[in-house]
A and B are shown apart, each in its own frame.
Chain A
Amino acid sequence: GIQVEQSPPDLILQEGANSTLRCNFSDSVNNLQWFHQNPWGQLINLFYIPSGTKQNGRLSATTVATERYSLLYISSSQTTDSGVYFCPLWETSGSRLTFGEGTQLTVNP
């Protein structure tokens, strides 16, 4: 099956810092979402981004489908950005989302 590799696995920042999270995929990228899982377990959809670049406030994402990777940029990080970030890939053969292990982000005040 498809492999989703996320880096870094853990990231600790001071409030106000910028960061880049990366996902590499072993297969073609047809459908991709970025999620933020808060400390209470809620998975919040950040972006649906099969290709190109999107921005939403302090967050932006870029997917380069031909090179099988996606990036999530967080600028001026806040403590509420803490949690785990996932970039699951939707397999073209069905409805399955394949998750990687995520990036655990901790933003300290």
Chain B
Amino acid sequence: ETGVTQTPRHLVMGMTNKKSLKCEQHLGHNAMYWYKQSAKKPLELMFVYNFKEQTENNSVPSRFSPECPNSSHLFLHLHTLQPEDSALYLCASSLPSRGEFNYGYTFGSGTRLTVV
């Protein structure tokens, strides 16, 4: 375990379903992230939260809705997804970058999502 816990590990959902992915960290980090990893593609940043506030949305479709109730928890709510949204969704956390100082990322194990 890295200190960043994601649940569920695997999820199969239909295109009309609503589901949520959960991420939890107790590393004292204040920044949390969602990344998407599709087959044969580099990891893509989806959302960034710093101190519970969303600071980046990388042009993600509205069928993905993030929620960050506190600095330790991050959710990704899913609704009316498409088969091409099937991917590995990775959560990460870090201390916020401050200028040139950076303390590195810690990733969770990911949720492997299949949309049928």
Contact = CB atoms under 8 A, between A and B. Distances in A.
Contact of B50 (A31, A95, A99): A95
B104 A45 contact: yes
A95 B110 contact: no
B45 A31 contact: no
B97 A95 contact: yes
A95 B92 CA distance: 11
Interface of B is mostly: strand
B42 A95 contact: no
A30 to B, nearest CB: 6
B102 A90 contact: yes
Interface string A77-94: 000000000101010101
Contact of A41 (B42, B96, B109): B109
Contact of B55 (A4, A43, A95): A95
A95 B48 contact: yes
Interface in B37-86: 37, 41-45, 48, 50, 55-56, 58
26 contacts: A30-B100, A31-B97, A31-B100, A33-B105, A41-B109, A41-B110, A41-B112, A42-B109, A42-B110, A44-B2, A45-B2, A88-B43, A92-B100, A94-B48, A94-B56, A95-B31, A95-B33, A95-B50, A95-B55, A95-B94, A96-B56, A96-B58, A97-B45, A99-B44, A101-B41, A102-B42
